A and B are shown apart, each in its own frame.
Chain A
Amino acid sequence: MSLILENMTKVVDGVTHLDNVSLEMEKGSFNVILGPTLAGKTTMLRLMAGLERPTSGRMLIKGQDMNPIPVWKRKVSMVYQQFINYPNLNVYENIAFPLRRGKLKADEIDHKVRTVAELLHIGELLTRKPKDLSGGQQQRTALARSLVKGDDLLLLDEPLINLDYKLREQIREEFRNIFDENGDTIIVYSTTDPLEALHLGGQLLVLNEGRPLQSGATHRVFRNPQTEEVARVFNDPPMNMIDGVVVNGRAVLGQGLSVPVTGHISGLKDGTYRFGLRASDLFLLRQSKNDVEFSATIELGEISGSETFIHARHHDVSWVIHEFGIHEHSLGEQASIYFNSRDLFVFGTEGGLTAGPEESTSTAPIY
C-alpha cells in the first residue's frame, strides 16, 4: 500500500471542513474526489500537499508519517483551477523549471520536457510565453510542469473548471491516456461534475459537507449508491426522489402513483420510504407493457450538450426526465411519463439504501 489517509480531520474556527477521512491509494492509481462546492475537496488536497496541517489524523506515504515533513521536502505537485505559470519564462522553461533544481544533465531535461510536451499537445508551443497562449494551452503547460517531475503524488484541483466547454470536452478525453502513462505517481483529481468523474474512471471518493460518503471503483459507486445523499451528489441532474409508502404489498409513490411490488422491491416491509429514479430512467414513450404511467405538466426543457432535461410537475412533485437529443417542448404542455419499477432505488427514512436495481448485465466492458 502506497498512501494511507488515517482519520484526517480539519477544523477551522470551530467549523469542520473535513471530517474524519480514511482512505488508501495504490501507487500509480488514479483517484477522483467528487462533491459539490464546499464539500471539502480543496481542503483535502491541501492537507495531502502539506499546505495545511490536519487538526487530527495523518497521512502515510510508503509507511512514513508525513505530518512532520514540510511541504518543500515532499515529492508532491498541485494543479489549480487558475492557470498558474511563470509569466517571464517560455513554455519550455516553464516545464523544465522543477528539473533545473536537480542534478539532471541538460539532454535528460530536454528529453523529459519534449516527451511530456508531446503528450499534452503543446510540443509546437515551446518557445511561446504564457501570455501568448489560450487558456487551454496555459493549463496544459501547468499540467506538463507537474507531470514532468514524476513525484509521488500529483494533486489536481478542478483543473478544467475555468475552460470553455468545448475545450473541457477535448482535454477530458485526453486525460485518461495522459494519466495511463504516469508510472508510479498517485494522482488525485477533484471535480464537482459527475459526468467528468465517469469520464475519468479510476477510484472514487464522494464527499459532501466535509463528510466522506462512499468510496470504490467510480462506475461501481455510480451504479450502487449506498445512500440517498450519494445518489443525489453523483447524478446530474440529481436523482428524482419521491416519498412513498408500502402497504399490504402495494407501493404508492407521491400522490397516488401505484407501483407493482415485484422484483428487487418485492421484499419491502410495510412502511415509509424514499423512492429514487434517475432522470434517464423516465421516458416520454412507453418502453414496456408493465411501465407505470403518469401525467405531468412540463415546466422547462433544459438542454445540456446533446441532451434535453425536461422538468415536469405531477401534483406537488417535480420530476426531471432525460431525453437523448435536442427536443422542443412548450411550457405548460401536458405529457405522459413512463418508468419501470425495476429501476427504482429505495431508501429508508434514515437515507440508507434498502433496495437497489440489479446491475444491468449489459454494462459495457471498459477496454
Chain B
Amino acid sequence: MARIDFVNAGHSYSGISDNIADYALQPMNHSWDDGKKYALLGPSGCGKTTLLNIISGLVRPSDGRVLFDDRDVTDIPTAKRNIAQVFQFPVIYNIMTVYNNLAFPLRCRKLPRPEIDIKVREVAELLNLTSHLSRPGFGLTADAKQLISLGRGLVRNDVAAIMLDEPLTVVDPHLKWQLRRKLKEVNNTYKMTMILVTHDQNEALTFADKVVLMKDGQIVQVGTPQELFENPKHTFTGYFIGSPAMNFMPCRLENNAVMVGNNQIPLPGLEACKTLPQGKLELGIRPEFLRLAQKASLDTIEVHVCDVRDLGNYNVATVVMGDHKLKVKVPISQSLPSDKGYLSFPPQWTKLYHEEKLVEISC
C-alpha cells in the first residue's frame, strides 16, 4: 500500500504542448493518502479515465512525475506497479473455481500453499464467498463476479492501490447498496487505497472518503461529500453535486452589501471582498438552505411563488425574485405560501463566487 503523488503530472495525447486545450489532463500536483477511499467524479470527457490510467501506468504522462511512497514510478510499467484493477465488466476465469480465481495472483507470485489458503479463506469470508469457493466462475451473478475481481486484489499484500472503474454498472440496482457496503467494510478491514472512477454522483458520494470532482481536465474540488455539498468551492460543484442544483444569481457589491437586482442580501464579512479584482460575481445558495415563509419578517425578500412540485417526501417550489427564478426545497410538513412568499438567505449557507470560484469570507 502506498501514498501516491502527482508532481506537476498531466497528459496531452499529442505530446507536451503550450496550448492548454491539448491536455486531456492538465498538469497538477495532487496526493492520494494511503488507505483512503477516493472517487474520481465528473462528466464524460473530464479526464478521469486518463488520470486513472496514469496511476496504473497504462498511460505515461507527457508532463511531470508520478511517485508511489516517494519512489518515482513514471517510467515503471503497469505490471510492476502492484495496482489491482476492477473493471466495469467482470473479468474472472470462468472455468476455474472461485477458490482458484482468488488464489491465482498468489500462485503467480509463488507463495507457499498454506499461506495462500489462509489468505483466500480470509478474503472469501469477508466477501461472503465462502459457500461458493468450490464452484466454477461461470453462472455466477454479476455482483458475485465483481466481488471475485475485487477479492483477487485483496488477497495480495503488495497492492499499492485498488482501482475501480465504474464497477457497479452491471450490478442489479437493488444489490448495489449491498456491494457499496461491502466495499466500505473491505476498506475498513484492509485499509487499502481505493480509487473509484464514476460519472454517477450518488455512487461517488456514497463510496468515498474524499471525492475528487473533475471538469475539463482539471480538478475542481477535493473534499468529503459533506464538504462538497455544504461548501462548494466552485460553481460547478454547486451545479453537479445535488439535485436540484444550487441556485446561482449574478450580483454586485454595494456599500458592503450584496445586491441581486434591487434586493439586498445580508452577508457579513464582506470587508474582505474589497480587494476583489473586477470579474463576474455570483451569489449561490442550495435549494435546501433557502427559507420560504408565508409572512414577512426582518431580512426577508418578497417573492412570487410560480410553481410547486409535490415530490412525495418534500415539495420543490420555484420562486421569482426580480429577474431570477430560484428553487426552494420545503419539507412536506411545512405549509407553503401561494402566490406571494417571503424568502430568506441564511448567511452561513449563502456563498459568493468570483469568476466561478468561492470567495472565502468568514461569518
A residues within 8 Å of B by Cβ?
A: 164-166, 169, 194-195, 198-199, 219, 222, 235, 278-280, 299-306, 311, 322, 324-328, 331, 360, 362-367
Cβ of B213 to closest chain A Cβ, rounded Å: 13
Q: Is the CB of B310 within 8 A of A303?
A: no
Q: Is the CB of A302 within 8 A of B310?
A: no
Q: Is the CB of A164 within 8 A of B224?
A: no
Cβ of A258 to closest chain B Cβ, rounded Å: 25
Contacts of A164 in B (CB 8 A): 43-44, 199
Contacts of A165 in B (CB 8 A): 200-202, 243
**Which residue from B240, B286, B288, B334 sits with its C-beta under 8 Å from A166?**
B240
Determine chain B's interface SS by DSSP, over half rule. Answer: mixed
Q: Is the CB of B334 within 8 A of A362?
A: yes
Q: Is the CB of B184 within 8 A of A331?
A: yes
Give a binary string over B231-245; 1 marks a CB under 8 Å from any A CB, 0 the rest. 000000001101111
In the complex with contacts A324-B329, A325-B229, A328-B225, A300-B177 CB distance below 8 A: yes
In the complex with contacts A300-B180, A306-B229, A328-B226, A364-B329 CB distance below 8 A: no
Cα distance A324–B230 in the bound complex, in angstroms: 12
Q: Is the CB of A169 within 8 A of B185?
A: no
Contacts of B200 in A (CB 8 A): 165
Whether B40 is near chain A, meaning CB under 8 Å from some CB there, is: no
A–B pairs, 13, beta carbons within 8 Å: A164-B43, A164-B44, A198-B311, A199-B311, A300-B184, A306-B242, A306-B243, A324-B329, A331-B181, A331-B184, A360-B332, A365-B336, A367-B307
Q: Is the CB of B177 within 8 A of A302?
A: yes
Cα distance A235–B313 in the bound complex, in angstroms: 10
B residues within 8 Å of A by Cβ?
A: 43-44, 177, 180-181, 184-185, 188, 199-202, 205-206, 224-226, 228-230, 239-240, 242-245, 286-288, 305-315, 317, 329-336, 338
Q: Which residue of A lies closest to B204 (CB)?
A: A303
Cβ of A353 to closest chain B Cβ, rounded Å: 17
Contacts of B180 in A (CB 8 A): 300, 302
Cβ of B48 to closest chain A Cβ, rounded Å: 14
Contacts of B311 in A (CB 8 A): 195, 198-199
In the complex with contacts A280-B313, A362-B335, A326-B177 CB distance below 8 A: no
Q: Is the CB of B308 within 8 A of A364?
A: yes
Contacts of B181 in A (CB 8 A): 299-300, 311, 331
**Which residue from A198, A222, A278, A303 sits with its C-beta under 8 Å from B225?**
A303
In the complex with contacts A164-B199, A364-B336, A328-B224 CB distance below 8 A: yes
Contacts of A194 in B (CB 8 A): 312
Name the residue in B205, B242, B313, B332 with the highest tally of chain A Cβ atoms < 10 Å from its Cβ: B313
In the complex with contacts A299-B181, A306-B229, A364-B315 CB distance below 8 A: yes
Cα distance A365–B188 in the bound complex, in angstroms: 47
Name the residue in A219, A302, A311 with the highest tally of chain B Cβ atoms < 10 Å from its Cβ: A302
Contacts of A324 in B (CB 8 A): 288, 314, 329, 331
Cβ of A174 to closest chain B Cβ, rounded Å: 12
Cα distance A169–B240 in the bound complex, in angstroms: 11
Q: Is the CB of A365 within 8 A of B308?
A: yes
Q: Is the CB of B288 within 8 A of A306?
A: yes
Cβ of B77 to closest chain A Cβ, rounded Å: 34
Q: Is the CB of B313 within 8 A of A278?
A: yes
**Which residue from A304, A305, A306, A367 sits with its C-beta under 8 Å from B308?**
A367
Contacts of B225 in A (CB 8 A): 303, 326, 328
Cβ of B340 to closest chain A Cβ, rounded Å: 13
Besides A219-B310, A305-B243, A325-B288, 14 new A-B residue pairs in contact (Cβ under 8 A), listed by A number: A164-B199, A166-B239, A166-B245, A280-B313, A280-B314, A302-B206, A303-B225, A325-B229, A326-B225, A326-B242, A328-B226, A362-B334, A362-B335, A365-B336
Cα distance A365–B332 in the bound complex, in angstroms: 11
**Which residue from B185, B230, B305, B308 sits with its C-beta under 8 Å from A326?**
B230
Cα distance A327–B230 in the bound complex, in angstroms: 10
Cα distance A186–B147 in the bound complex, in angstroms: 46
